[in-house]
Chain A
């Protein structure tokens, strides 16, 4: 197991501009086998991830399938319990909080899911779905709650007569609007958007993205936006973090990272974005081999098995995330 920890130099917790601060977050899922379900290994889904999100900004998290970005999002909300690490929300580490306090804190942090079909209870009407968070946190009386539900429907662009409909009567995009309205019901500060548009048609994707941007402006929301669509991430993010095999390899302002990626993996990833101009030919960086298994990740730098510039050092020493340029953090020995 690698003991080298990735650290960022910025102080956690104290800067009031920082809403969420994640330090050395890890999540190992045990693999059980044999007759008595012994633990025979671990899937190191997230292995030492650190980042900050400032108030009102959108941090985009990109990476291939299985790189741990979804697990990171859920661990931040403690929907999966982190194996270790700290998650500072407004300066307070929420990982050790008892369940009771955590439940109260859930008003502040919400999630929008990828699958608009699985994320709404088919037995509950839209009104019931949107009222539920208000009931759980004892907000207002019945009338006030109904009023709030109508407001929410309006905010996400649905009509108040939808209130009695059931989820299966809506299209994917409309369902996603309902999911967003539910997340907003309690006026959260942080919204983790877990691939909120990946399951939607392209034309609907932009509607939902624009809606999320409008809502961010209107309510001062902070987003942790997880996606694998590079264009989507670029469109919505202020800053972008790139993950590979459970580790954050690079994090920088969106413009900066798209213009000049530093990490060889980011380079290869972004070279896959097509240029909408047939006369310009981009040099595609094709990586060799497959992503190694997160059960037994490579020693040293996670990426060294496929890296075009890997040296002996990379096999041995895991590179820390360091500020290579102002605001541009990269985990590579040579960049």
Chain B
């Protein structure tokens, strides 16, 4: 039986023009003003912390006791802290440690969380149940106790902090990824990959991983600021990185003591530094998400 539309069998013509291939994601990325703001500001902050001391070599450690808690002046552009140390120098040096620990911890926790969630969600069944109960148990341990425990057993240093912070912050990513994978693995394209004879590893890496990275990127950017603040929290309890090396979190918590003396120059600079890093990373994360998810590309 021939249907009346049978003569329509020629392929429909397409008005679309061919576009650039691989670089298209980056073009989309750079077409987003948020990406520009985030990248430029973050670059400035990184330059400030890592290259700044070259141009402003004043020592962050030398106490000027006669100028303790001095407000900003020509000699000390951002004033001095309670020991009379140059606040601008401290902000620069402190940024190095905060940025390193923040980014590294966020990255490590992302890798652990994505791998864990991917396997748990994809394999499913008993393994999934066991892995997720493990996460539940770990979640129920207050992370502060864990951090305090590790910190008191080992002598804190930056590398240890990175791993300790990653260890208490990957559960969220793991749960997020597992949930996504549970829904993604039922999609027809995953079944099509099975039908083509694709191995489980291939399905996880080629079909599931790229489709969960969007949500992962956004949550990882939040993790960066979280890690910086965790260092601050630990420092506040005296268990952060040992003085005299400053970091933004420590500077912020130290400054709380001088709040009532109106030492605003001690509070705002590290506070805004953390805020801006967080904002920049988030802008970049959202732009990446939009650029690399073809459905969100304009």
A interface vs B, CB < 8 Å?
A: 77, 79, 102-104, 106-107, 109-111, 113-115, 118-125, 132-133, 136-137, 157-159, 161-162, 164-169, 171, 173-174, 177, 179, 182, 186, 202-203, 205-207, 209-211, 214, 231, 234-235
B-side contacts of A133, CB under 8 Å: 196-197
Chain B: interface secondary structure?
loop
B-side contacts of A171, CB under 8 Å: 12
B interface vs A, CB < 8 Å?
A: 1-6, 8-12, 14, 16, 18-19, 21, 187-189, 191-199, 202, 206-207, 210-211, 293-295
Shortest distance from the beta carbon of B210 to any chain A beta carbon, whole Å: 4
In the A-B complex, list the 4 residue pairs whose CB atoms are closest, starting with the nearest.
A157-B11, A106-B197, A119-B188, A103-B197
Given contacts A121-B207, A166-B294, contact A182 B192 (CB under 8 A): yes
Q: Which residue of B lies closest to A117 (CB)?
A: B188
Shortest distance from the beta carbon of B256 to any chain A beta carbon, whole Å: 46
B-side contacts of A164, CB under 8 Å: 18-19, 21
Residues A122 and B19 in contact, CB atoms below 8 Å apart: no
Residues B19 and A110 in contact, CB atoms below 8 Å apart: no
Residues B188 and A209 in contact, CB atoms below 8 Å apart: no
Q: How far is the CA of A102 from the CA of B195 in the complex (A)?
A: 10
Residues B1 and A235 in contact, CB atoms below 8 Å apart: yes
Residues A161 and B9 in contact, CB atoms below 8 Å apart: no
B-side contacts of A179, CB under 8 Å: 192
Q: How far is the CA of A109 from the CA of B9 in the complex (A)?
A: 26
Residues B295 and A210 in contact, CB atoms below 8 Å apart: no
Shortest distance from the beta carbon of A133 to any chain B beta carbon, whole Å: 5
Q: How far is the CA of A123 from the CA of B207 in the complex (A)?
A: 8
Residues B6 and A132 in contact, CB atoms below 8 Å apart: no
Q: Which residue of B lies closest to A234 (CB)?
A: B1
Residues B295 and A168 in contact, CB atoms below 8 Å apart: yes
Q: Which residue of A lies closest to B10 (CB)?
A: A157
Q: Which residue of B lies closest to A201 (CB)?
A: B5
A-side contacts of B19, CB under 8 Å: 164
Q: How far is the CA of A186 from the CA of B197 in the complex (A)?
A: 11
Most B CB within 10 A of own CB, among A104, A119, A166, A207? A207
Residues B12 and A122 in contact, CB atoms below 8 Å apart: no
Residues A132 and B16 in contact, CB atoms below 8 Å apart: no
B-side contacts of A122, CB under 8 Å: 211, 293-295
Q: Which residue of B lies closest to A132 (CB)?
A: B196
Q: How far is the CA of A110 from the CA of B295 in the complex (A)?
A: 27
Q: How far is the CA of A102 from the CA of B10 in the complex (A)?
A: 37
Residues A118 and B189 in contact, CB atoms below 8 Å apart: yes
Q: How far is the CA of A272 from the CA of B134 in the complex (A)?
A: 56
A157-B10, A205-B5, A235-B3 given; 17 more Cβ-contact pairs under 8 Å? A103-B199, A106-B196, A107-B197, A113-B188, A120-B189, A121-B189, A123-B207, A123-B211, A133-B197, A136-B197, A137-B197, A162-B14, A164-B21, A168-B294, A171-B12, A211-B9, A214-B9
B-side contacts of A136, CB under 8 Å: 196-199, 202
Residues B195 and A206 in contact, CB atoms below 8 Å apart: no
Shortest distance from the beta carbon of B266 to any chain A beta carbon, whole Å: 47
Residues A115 and B211 in contact, CB atoms below 8 Å apart: no
Given contacts A123-B211, A157-B10, contact A132 B197 (CB under 8 A): no
Q: How far is the CA of A169 from the CA of B297 in the complex (A)?
A: 11
Residues A169 and B189 in contact, CB atoms below 8 Å apart: no
Shortest distance from the beta carbon of B251 to any chain A beta carbon, whole Å: 42
The answer, among B4, B14, B194, for a CB contact under 8 Å with A79, is B194
Q: Which residue of A lies closest to B195 (CB)?
A: A111
Q: How far is the CA of A198 from the CA of B18 in the complex (A)?
A: 30
Residues A203 and B197 in contact, CB atoms below 8 Å apart: no
B-side contacts of A159, CB under 8 Å: 11, 14
Residues A169 and B16 in contact, CB atoms below 8 Å apart: yes
Residues A206 and B6 in contact, CB atoms below 8 Å apart: yes
Q: Which residue of B lies closest to A159 (CB)?
A: B14
Q: Which residue of B lies closest to A160 (CB)?
A: B18
Residues B18 and A158 in contact, CB atoms below 8 Å apart: no
Residues A111 and B192 in contact, CB atoms below 8 Å apart: yes
Q: How far is the CA of A247 from the CA of B83 in the complex (A)?
A: 86
Q: Which residue of A lies closest to B190 (CB)?
A: A121
